[in-house]
């Protein structure tokens, strides 16, 4: 598992965070001002990259949280196999089997170049080139 540890106050919308063991993209962050007896708190709402579930947490802004290291790569589709797509990585020439993304079903075909991401051991096709 490739991840880094950062403080909550350094996070921004559009960046990534690990919530419930799942890499998630931050959709909104709201912070409260510090009170008489405590530190400022941040409420973070995020959507899972691989499962599209909404998650939220509330933590003090000086706490440390894990963020995933996301590896963006390019590949070429070798075969469409029902609910999976076989891809060859254009740098290492490894073949991978990834789940078929429903939102890109019209654009995918054999020989199409795609961009995919790898985070926390999971793979997902993001877009076509």
Residues 55 and 86 in one domain: no
| pLDDT by 10-residue block (mean), the chain, 129 residues | 88 94 94 86 94 94 93 92 90 90 81 91 88
Residue 1's pLDDT is 55
Q: Which of 42, 68, 94 is the last residue of a domain?
A: 68
CATH code of the domain containing 28: 2.30.30.30
Contact between residue 57 and residue 41 where contact means Cβ atoms under 8 Å apart: no
Give Dmax (Cα) for the chain.
62
Residue 42's pLDDT is 94
Q: Which domain holds residue 117?
A: 71-128
Structural domains counted in the chain: 2
pTM score, whole prediction: 0.82
Q: Is 103 helix (H, G, I), strand (E, B) or coil?
A: helix
């Amino acid at each position: 598992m490739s991840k880094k540890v950062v403080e909550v106050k350094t996070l921004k919308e559009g960046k990534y965070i690990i919530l419930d063991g799942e890499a998630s993209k931050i959709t909104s962050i709201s912070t409260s001002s510090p009170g008489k007896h405590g530190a400022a708190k941040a409420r973070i709402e995020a959507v899972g990259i691989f499962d599209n579930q909404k998650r939220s947490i509330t933590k003090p802004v000086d706490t440390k949280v894990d963020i995933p290291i996301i590896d963006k790569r390019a590949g070429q589709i070798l075969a469409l196999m029902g609910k999976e797509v076989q891809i060859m990585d254009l740098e290492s020439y490894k073949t991978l089997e990834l789940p078929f993304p429903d939102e890109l079903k019209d654009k995918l075909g054999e020989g199409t170049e795609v961009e995919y991401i790898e985070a926390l051991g999971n793979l997902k096709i993001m877009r076509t080139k």
